[in-house]
Amino acid sequence: MKSIKTVGHAIFVIFILCLSARCCGQEDLDIAPMEKAEQEALYSTIQGFVGNSWNGSDLYPDPCGWTPIQGVSCDLFNGFWYVTVLNIGPVHDNSLSCAQDLEFRPELFSLKHLKSLSFFNCFQSKNSFPATIPARNWEKLASSLETLEFRSNPGLIGNIPSGFGVLKNLRSLVLLENGVTGEIPSSIGNLVKLKKLVLAENYLNGRIPDVFDGMNELLIFDLSSNSLSGSLPSTLGSLTSALKLDVSHNDLEGTLLKEFANLKNLTLMDLRNNKLSGGLTLSLQEMQSLEELVMSNNPLGGDMRALEWENMKNLEILELSNMGLTGEIPESISELKRLRFLGLSNNKLTGNLSPKLETLPCLNALYLSGNNITGEINFSKEFLEKMGRRFGAWRNPNLCYQVGVISTNHVPYGVKPCQREVNLLESNSKTELINGDRNETFHFIVSKGFSSSATNGLWWTLMEEILMMGLVLIILI
């Protein structure tokens, strides 16, 4: 019994020693060293954004280990911790809050392994505390930085630095909903590894630079909601991997590009609210991967029948309202079996409304208002019930519905009933009625066997006149 107790005691001591060794080993792993210069650069950088009252060395003595900082991520390089991700702004509840008078400190560019840098809702006042993106030192992050994003920062003003062009490994450049002004620098074309370029909802002006011929890895291209002018650059046709192209809500002019035919992978193209003209180009029907085509509010003009719409079989949304389009609605539209939304309002479309449109199985919104479409609506009750108020056809003065065929509960808003044809003359047109009855009476006499040749004689002529006068008197009485 005593020997058993001795063995048990020995096992317990060994277990405690092993547990201690494991804990010590784990502690050594978790408290990996961080270069002092890297740590001080991190503290100073964050302090510049959140305020001088923030003391990282006291609150976060081990920012990549036991006391991590929200928005900061690290990786090991040669046995040392280095900062790889820095997210500034209220992304999470416990994220660091930005100061009003924040600043970009030069220590930011000493974080030599930084892969991702983003600012969200941080620069708030362009009047009291405006800030600009640093124009220099970006070359120090050229080999590491892959993501650079500024989102929802109205107090971030000034131009896009041309120095961004040295960030040769950048995959994502996002400046969304800021106060940035000026022109897009042509150095953007150097970012040949970009997969996402979003410069939307700023105050950018000038022309879109024609520098995209080397950016064939780009997936997202969004310059919407700015004040960009001039024509579309032809090198947009070099974005052969692009899935989304959005230049809506600008002041762009000129014609649609024939180079659009090269965008075989594009699923969304949004050109609405510009000043594009010149009609529908054949290059559109070559974009057979398109799911959403939105070009409304452009004075484009041209005949809708210029395109073979059946080639664009993946279309789900087709919005072509207020474009000055002419001609009839092509029946080939009915071949787009995935189409959910069709908007053709405020154009100059003519002709009858093809009942084949109701064969589109996914269609749940059809807007044709403000055209010159004529004839009767020949859609089924089931189709009209399904569409409801999502079928807009008002302001087509010669479009109508048949009373009794379509229930008044399902009549499209603003469409009038068809007028019945009037075959009878007004009752006060007595002379026309009399003449008409005279003719009918004459035919009646002939049908009773009177030979037409017998009327050549004077006798028969007199008898015919007497008989006709008698019949007229009978009718009048």
pLDDT tens-place string over residues 17-39: 444 444 443 444 445 689 999 99
More confident residue, 45 or 16: 45
Query: In this structure, what token pair is assigned to residue 176?
Result: 């969304």
Model confidence, pTM: 0.82
- What pLDDT does 114 receive? 98
Phi, psi (degrees; rounded to nearest 5) at 174: -125, 120
Whole-angstrom distance, CA of residue 44 vs CA of residue 51: 10
Residue 175 scores a pLDDT above 50: yes
Mean pLDDT score, 232-246? 98
User: Tens digits of per-residue pLDDT, 40-49?
Assistant: 999 999 999 9
Mean pLDDT score, 427-433? 42
Q: In which band, very low, low, confident or very high, does the pLDDT at 409 lie, cut at 50, 70 and 90?
A: confident
Mean pLDDT score, 152-175? 97
Residue 406 scores a pLDDT above 90: no
Residue 293 scores a pLDDT above 60: yes
Indicate the range of 54-63, 166-175, 460-469 predicted with least confidence: 460-469
More confident residue, 404 or 304: 304
More confident residue, 87 or 446: 87
- What pLDDT does 410 receive? 82
More confident residue, 420 or 215: 215
What are the residues whose beta carbons fall under 8 Å from the beta carbon of 371, sequence distance 6 or more?
344, 345, 346, 347, 348, 349, 350, 395, 396
Residue pair 312/289 in contact (Cβ under 8 Å)? The answer is no
% of the chain surpassing 70 pLDDT: 81
Domain assignments of the chain as residue spans, ordered by start: 274-448
Mean pLDDT score, 378-392? 92
Indicate the range of 90-104, 270-284, 304-318 predicted with least confidence: 90-104
- What pLDDT does 407 receive? 77
For domain 274-448, which architecture applies?
Answer: Alpha-Beta Horseshoe (3.80)
- What pLDDT does 32 receive? 65
Residue 475 scores a pLDDT above 50: no
Q: Which three-class secondary structure string do you get for the chain?
A: CHHHHHHHHHHHHHHHHHHHHHHHHHHHHHCCCECHHHHHHHHHHHHHHHCCCCCHHHHCCCCCCCCCCCCEEEEEECCEEEEEEEEECCCCCCCCCCCCCCCCCHHHHHCCCCCEEEEECCCCCCCCCCEECCCCCHHHHCCCCCEEEEEEECCEECCCCHHHHHCCCCCEEEEEEECCEECCCHHHHHCCCCCEEECCCCEEEEECCCCCCCCCCCCEEECCCCEEEEECCHHHHHCCCCCEEECCCCEEECCCCHHHHHCCCCCEEECCCCCCCCCCCHHHHHCCCCCEEECCCCCCCCEHHHCCHHHCCCCCEEECCCCCCEEECCHHHHHCCCCCEEECCCCEEECECCHHHHHCCCCCEEECCCCCCEEECCCCHHHHHHHHHHEECCCCCCEEECECCECHHHCCCCCEECCCCCCCCCCCCHHHHHHHHHHHHHHHHHHCCCCHHHHHCHHHHHHHHHHHHHHHHHHHC
Q: In which band, very low, low, confident or very high, does the pLDDT at 412 lie, cut at 50, 70 and 90?
A: confident
- What pLDDT does 31 receive? 54
Burial letters 384-412, b for 16+ CB under 10 A, else e: beebeeebbbbbbeebbbeeeebeeebbb
- What pLDDT does 348 receive? 98
**Whole-number average pLDDT of the chain:** 85
